[in-house]
Amino acid sequence: MRSKVPGILYWILAILPLPVALILYLLTPGAYNLGGDITVSTSRWQMLIAPVANIVLGGLFYGLTNLLSSSFRKRMEAQILPPDADAFLGWFRVYIIAFLDVLCFCSIYGYYSLDFSGSATTVLMCRAAAAMLGVGGIAAGRILPRCTKRSILALRWSYTEKSDEAWYQVHKHGARLFFLAGAFSVLCAAAMVSVQALILSFLAFVLVLVFLYLYSRYIYFNSFRG
């Protein structure tokens, strides 16, 4: 039953924004009278776009990760995968759908709060995305040291796969760097009120990945000199 928990939770989270949006849709009038003959449409039907897209994207992502997982298993052939391989993949899916949920709820709130310009909603979505990136980075920092070459999710590059030392060093130091980038992203989300939070968070993770790739290359070629 334990292995089924991430899958069940995934689909609950994928569907959750839709009933919430439907309730708010019914509670929101179609238009507001600002006085006299002036009325403003609330465009409440647009609350439903993001939740429906969330379900579609959730289904596509679930199918894609199933294909990638099957392909990886065929590559591994007779090798036994770690007991937590499926659990890591399942919880990774849950994280991604939770990320999409947060953006969905920000979008729904924007229409419900009558943010006609969309500026406040955009800022909220950027800060929320930065915070979720941070949470993901911190979680990755805990998981990476446990990844082996038989793990489904890992920092899988040509150099790390060819060299055991490169694999070990990249995942060891990568765990610390991902944790720091995650903490930095959470701080950006808390301290900044514009898209700068998301941009800086995204750049932090890009720099970490570029550094780790170059570091794996350095270790790989340095092993021949030794």
Q: At 172, list the tokens.
A: 């060891």
Residue 116 pLDDT level (bands cut at 50, 70, 90): low
pLDDT digits (tens, 9 = 90+) for 171-192: 999 999 999 999 999 999 999 8
CA distance linking residue 74 with residue 94, whole number of Å: 24
44 with 111: CB under 8 angstroms? yes
Burial of 163 (0-12, 13-18, 19+ CB in 10 A): buried
The CA distances from residue 35 to 28, 32, 40, 56, 202, in Å, are 18, 9, 10, 41, 45
pLDDT digits (tens, 9 = 90+) for 145-158: 988 888 888 899 99
CA dihedral sign of residues 177, 216, 142, 11: positive
Predicted model pTM: 0.86
